[in-house]
Amino acid sequence: MSNPAKTKSIEFGVASMILPGQKESGDLYIVKETEKQILIGVVDGLGHGTEAANAAKLAVSVLDTYSHESVIALTRFCHDKLKATRGVVMALASINPADETMTWLSIGNVEGMLFRSEPHLNPSNPIYETIIMRPGVIGFKLPPLYASVMSISKNDLIILSTDGISDDYTYRLASDARFSYEMINSSGERTKEDLMNEAEHFQHDSSLSKLQQSTEDLNLFKAGISRKSPKELADFLCKRFNKGNDDALVLVAKYL
Ligand SMILES: [Mn+2]
């Protein structure tokens, strides 16, 4: 599939890296719009190499075949069909344009974040949501399935990423979203000094110690994530936060 890419209801972008030395990735994704929903999903086959890729491919083909089903039904179907494989972890999100909702779930450690684009009428409204990750392996051991449903609005961003991407980015983007919002509401443009202060703030946060500051980062955050295309954001996250010891994949979708 070419990037940037669109369905009727979303624009999306994907970036991925194969673990050096391997021929194919065990991290795959699906984006499919059917009559009533858009299904997006990220699948990580256990381990890496061919067997991981085979498990992930089978999961994606099941998702493709039953893409009109609910995320819970899809997880069960995948579990049944993947019993002879190594298994996968995955996150699925189903967007329903008719009532502007999204339902999502994650089994294993595929991360999910939703960044809300709407100006926050009430400062206590959340700017982002995070997916609940239930421990388990599809094809091997399923936890009791739990999906959450939430309202979404035009230009909301959904990000799904495998564990080859450090979850540091979730803190970073969350902080940036809040910061951008506060700056926009106070003085508008962020000054160079604001950005340097922010950089210092990140350096002093021990959970973000792996981050290095660069001009590229500052530009991304100055522009604000909502002004980047899904593909630009996926490329940035993959390049900047991939751990280098596993396959890695990031899917970014913008609700149109
Ligand atoms: Mn992985």
Return the pLDDT at 115.
Answer: 87
Which one of 2.60.40.3710, 3.60.10.10, 3.50.50.100, 3.60.40.10 gives the CATH number of domain 5-165+227-255?
Answer: 3.60.40.10
What count of other Cβ atoms lies within 10 Å of the Cβ of residue 255?
A: 21
Cα–ligand 1 centroid distance for 181 (angstroms): 33
Instruction: Compute, in angstroms, the gap from residue 112 CA to the centroid of ligand 1.
Output: 14
More confident call, 180 vs 139: 139
Quick check: 42 and 105 in contact, CB under 8 A?
no
Tokens of 58: 């089978």
Dist. CA 80–CA 184, nearest whole Å: 49
- Decide: pTM greater than 0.85: no
237 Cα to the center of ligand 1, angstroms: 16
- pLDDT tens digits, 140-175: 999 999 999 999 999 899 999 999 999 888 887 777
Q: Is the pLDDT of residue 10 over 70?
A: yes
**Ligand 1 centroid distance, CA of 246 (Å):** 6
Cα 43 to middle of ligand 1, angstroms = 9
Residue 187 pLDDT more than 50?
Answer: no
CA 200 – ligand 1 centroid, Å? 31
Tokens 């002093």 identify what position? 204
pLDDT digits (tens, 9 = 90+) for 81-126: 999 999 999 999 999 999 999 999 999 999 999 988 875 556 677 7
Q: 248 alpha carbon to ligand 1 midpoint, in Å?
A: 7
Biggest alpha carbon distance in the chain? 58
Where are the chain's structural domains? 5-165+227-255
User: How far, in Å, CA of 45 to CA of 31, rounded?
Assistant: 18
